[in-house]
Chains A and B, each alone.
Chain A
């Protein structure tokens, strides 16, 4: 029994995000929204239709129902981090890999996408 508590505690300290980050706060979503709309950062509207954005581009699909389309959070994060991993011809900039966004900003964008 003692062992189980110890393992649970170890898991908690090693991977706190897996237990805590399920429900991001409003602040985190707001940060993701800002990064997504910022034309020097995510600039998502250049290519994607997005709720609340005007004159969107149409290179990529609309950013709607993201949770249904990417039930696996890590898959969505990887797509934003480096879309060419899955499709080498993808025109989507590798936001994480090329340092366009920081790790924290990528996380915030994923949280915002999940809220769409």
Chain B
């Protein structure tokens, strides 16, 4: 009899204990386990590549392409965007303030983004923060994807080079955004039924026609990029939209929830690496 009442008691308490354990979950431990597995996949696949070198994308794994890329780096095509970005960054708003009133360290804060804003319960990216700075100062927002916003972002990335990636996931809200980004990364989509992970994990280093597929590890670290195909500088989320279009999927809103969560997940996976953007890519 006593035994039964004990087990009944346990059953009654079970939901409460489950709820309690949910609230005290160690989110960074869960995320760190993912990071470890994700990283191990690439370090086993490309044992000769150092962790930080994955920031160079496909040029870390393809010697032939790397040589051409290094030659291009003598006069990097993104340098004009950095200069123009600096001028835009230093320009005063009509109220006399500048971006430095929003961003400390003279704007060398690339490494503080993306982050999860607990009050607003959402991921905030650098490009989003740039536009929010403008709105706060009575300026119209810039169009996302390319142009001035990519130039300002490039300048801020440039003066933040070498800063470590340390995105934190320390609340349930942040973990949920992270999980949504993770699901996006692994889920097949579009007419061609492909996922980010399909090409950029399982087939990274293989050739699609003559193009070697870049490893996903470190993708966000080198953006914005001057892409020869674009002939100009563009943001990471512009690339997401292009990738989605390529696989016959509907490109989603730039700086919409889906892409921000994906950027959040991808940047978390790059924790421990160092920002080295902007960069040039084919």
Contacts and interface: CB of A to CB of B under 8 A. Distances in A.
Interface of A: 45-47, 55-59, 84, 89, 91, 93-94, 98-100
B142 interface: no
29 contacts: A45-B209, A46-B208, A46-B209, A55-B210, A56-B207, A56-B209, A57-B207, A57-B208, A57-B209, A57-B210, A57-B211, A58-B206, A58-B207, A59-B203, A59-B206, A59-B207, A84-B193, A89-B202, A91-B194, A91-B202, A91-B203, A93-B192, A93-B194, A94-B193, A98-B191, A98-B192, A98-B193, A98-B248, A100-B248
Contacts of B191: 93, 98-100
Interface string B169-205: 0000000000000000000000111100011001100
Nearest to A100: B191
Contacts of B198: 91
A56 B192 CA distance: 18
Nearest to A82: B193
* The 8 residue pairs across chains A and B that have the minimum distance between CB atoms: A93-B192, A55-B210, A57-B208, A91-B198, A57-B207, A58-B207, A98-B191, A57-B209
A99 B208 CA distance: 22
A57 B193 contact: no
A84 B192 CA distance: 12
A84 to B, nearest CB: 7
Contacts of A93: 191-194
A56 B208 CA distance: 7
B193 A55 contact: no
A53 to B, nearest CB: 10
A45 B208 CA distance: 8
A26 B198 CA distance: 37
Contacts of A94: 193
Nearest to B210: A55
Contacts of A45: 209
A47 B193 contact: no
Contacts of A84: 193
B184 to A, nearest CB: 17
Contacts of B192: 93, 98, 100
Contacts of B208: 46-47, 57, 59
A56 B202 CA distance: 18
A41 to B, nearest CB: 12
A56 B210 CA distance: 7
B206 A57 contact: yes
A99 B193 CA distance: 12
Contacts of B210: 55, 57
Q: Which of A55, A57, A84 has the most CB of B within 10 A?
A: A57
Contacts of A99: 191
Interface string B247-265: 0100000000000000000
Nearest to A55: B210
A115 to B, nearest CB: 23
A80 B207 CA distance: 20
B154 to A, nearest CB: 31
B209 A55 contact: yes
Contacts of A98: 191-193, 248
Given A46-B208, A57-B207, 10 more contacts: A45-B209, A55-B210, A56-B209, A57-B208, A58-B207, A84-B193, A91-B194, A98-B193, A99-B191, A100-B191
